[in-house]
Structure 1
Amino acid sequence: MPAPDSALGGYDPRAGRSERHERRPALIPLPGLLRSLLTEHLDPGYAAAAAARETSGQSRRTIADRAWQAVAAVLIAVVFAAAVAQARATAPGVNAAQQVLAASVRSAEGTTDRLTQRRDELATQSDSIQRRQLRDDTAGRDLLSKLDALSLAAATTAVIGPGLSVTVTDPGVGRDLSDVSKQRVAGSRQIILDRDLQLTVNSLWASGAEAISVGGVRMGPNVTIRQAGGAILVDNHPISSPYTILAVGPPGEMRDTFDRSSGLQRLRLLEVSYGVGVSVSTGDGLSLPASAVREIKFAKQIGR
């Protein structure tokens, strides 16, 4: 490259640059005005005004929000105070109403018990008079024997005799029953259910029982065992643990058959899985009460 003419005031732009720097492309600086036009789209004055409006708006919103929060807190406090005052004002009336209802229930239960006892006494007197009249001749005695057989099947007469006694005890509230895996029914700690007692009773019938009672209630044609919430009802009478099932019949034969029955197998499974208490024993002189006599309004003969 020709040397510059220093006399003409020229200079060599590559002076003092190495060969490596000489091969680099030349950088053309971007003017400040063009840079600001490409990057800053808003005039600084407008930006400052927008920032000022945003700051003042936030302060106003903050004051308004705090005011609404205070008003809401006052309203909630007023509502709670009114609810507490109303509860305190109505509490004596509610307690009095509960006491009246409880007294009415107890009175009704007492009246029902007295009427039931009176009914049983009258039924016993009627049966005694009927039996005295029928014992006088041969036809009457034959009719009396047939009535006794029908009364036994209908569970309308008390029974005393040997048989089996089955006692099932609920484990109650245990530390491990809070586990979901230990809950036989979701959300409930009850282990023994109506279907367990139903299967046990049916197994005793199949084992040769002549009369059965559950929780002191005689099982008959119209008597049911069902679940009502957390209670078990036998003929609409609530029973609780321990559940005692008495079966009158030949003890030895009943025990042999019942030990192989599905009812006892289920009880044993509950005993192993949930800790249910199961006790089976033979006894003499088991006493079973008579079942309530119900009026039959419709009947149909089957099987003939």
Structure 2
Amino acid sequence: MRQLLPQHRAILSLFALLFGGLFVGMLMSVRPQVALSSSSSSRNSSASLSVDRIGTLREHQQELNAELSRLRDEQAELQQQSTSSQSNFEEIRTQIDQQQQMAALVAMRGPGVVVTLNDSNANSLPDEVADVNRYIIHQQQLVTLVGVLWSNGAEAISINDQRITDQTSIYCVGSTILINQELMAPPFTIRAIGDPNTLANAASNSPLLSDLWNRQREFGIGVDVKQKAQVQVPAYTGPLANRHLEVAP
């Protein structure tokens, strides 16, 4: 075999070094590009994921806003219904109270008059008395007085704590009087709510009560009329008689 000269070996060594350096340089230039490409790809992927996530969150937020708006509308409707129901309840309650007042089923108070009727205060009757009944309060005086008070604006009337209504009956039973099925004896205290001046004037000057006042002057019947700033009459507690009323099917 032919042997290489020393100068030839030196040239070959130089070529080897140059080639190795060039190869290493090429590698160094390629690797950063690969790394840069990989890093760019990763950032693009992350950015894409972030955009998708933001889009999903926005859609969810829109759904929540829509649900919140629906719930607010529902709440407003419920509040309106509640207000309407409360208003209807108050109206019904007012109507019931008015009906109870008209039916005398509740106690009432207000300005008015108190009229007291009593049998004669005479200690003894004259021998020539033809009619002893002239010295006694009868149902007729009570019925007439109540009618006069009603016709002059009385809003509520009671006799001896018995409320007078359109169903009240007043009857004489011997020496007593039956009112709302309760036996009563004199004195009779009639309480009436209304304008005190009007009621007092009617009780004192009505022509319908002239017989009562004549008996007061001639036979000592007790008649006393007083105006009051506050009069109280009780609720009606007697029976409620419905002769023709029945529940419809």
Class of the TM-score when normalised by the shorter of the 2 chains: 0.5 to 0.7
**Larger Rg belongs to:** 2
- Matches for 1:249-260 after TM superposition, within 5 Å: 249-260=194-205
Post-superposition Cα deviations, 1:175-197, rounded to whole Å, max 9, x if no partner, equal: 22553325237xxxx61111110
Asked whether the equivalents of residues 117 and 222 of structure 2 are also in contact (C-alpha less than 8 Å), the reply is yes
- Matches for 1:1-304 after TM superposition, within 5 Å: 137-171=86-120, 174-184=123-133, 191-292=136-237, 294=240, 296=242, 298-299=244-245
The number of residues matched between the two structures is 162
CA change 1:250–1:264 in 2 (3 A) is same
Residue 244 of structure 2 aligns with an amino acid whose one-letter code is F
Structure with more contact order per residue of length (Cα contacts < 8 Å, sep ≥ 6):
2
1:296 and 1:177 mapped to 2: Cα distance?
Answer: 48
Q: Percent same amino acid among aligned pairs?
A: 27
Unaligned runs of 5+ in 2: 1-84
1:226 and 1:178 mapped to 2: Cα distance?
Answer: 29
Post-superposition Cα deviations, 1:272-294, rounded to whole Å, max 9, x if no partner, equal: 22110111011122111100262
Q: State the secondary structure of the residue aligned to 1:259.
A: helix
Asked whether the equivalents of residues 176 and 182 of structure 1 are also in contact (C-alpha less than 8 Å), the reply is no
Q: State the secondary structure of the residue aligned to 1:271.
A: helix
Post-superposition Cα deviations, 1:111-146, rounded to whole Å, max 9, x if no partner, equal: xxxxxxxxxxxxxxxxxxxxxxxxx71122222222
Post-superposition Cα deviations, 1:62-91, rounded to whole Å, max 9, x if no partner, equal: xxxxxxxxxxxxxxxxxxxxxxxxxxxxxx
Asked whether the equivalents of residues 162 and 284 of structure 1 are also in contact (C-alpha less than 8 Å), the reply is yes
Post-superposition Cα deviations, 1:26-65, rounded to whole Å, max 9, x if no partner, equal: xxxxxxxxxxxxxxxxxxxxxxxxxxxxxxxxxxxxxxxx
2:125 and 2:109 mapped to 1: Cα distance?
Answer: 41
Post-superposition Cα deviations, 1:225-244, rounded to whole Å, max 9, x if no partner, equal: 11111211111112222110
Taking structure 2 as the reference length, what is the TM-score of the superposition? 0.59
1:227 and 1:280 mapped to 2: Cα distance?
Answer: 23
* Two-structure CA RMSD over aligned residues (Å): 2.4
Residue 220 of structure 1 aligns with an amino acid whose one-letter code is T
CA change 1:171–1:260 in 2 (3 A) is closer
Post-superposition Cα deviations, 1:238-268, rounded to whole Å, max 9, x if no partner, equal: 2222110000112122223333323432321
CA change 1:295–1:227 in 2 (3 A) is closer
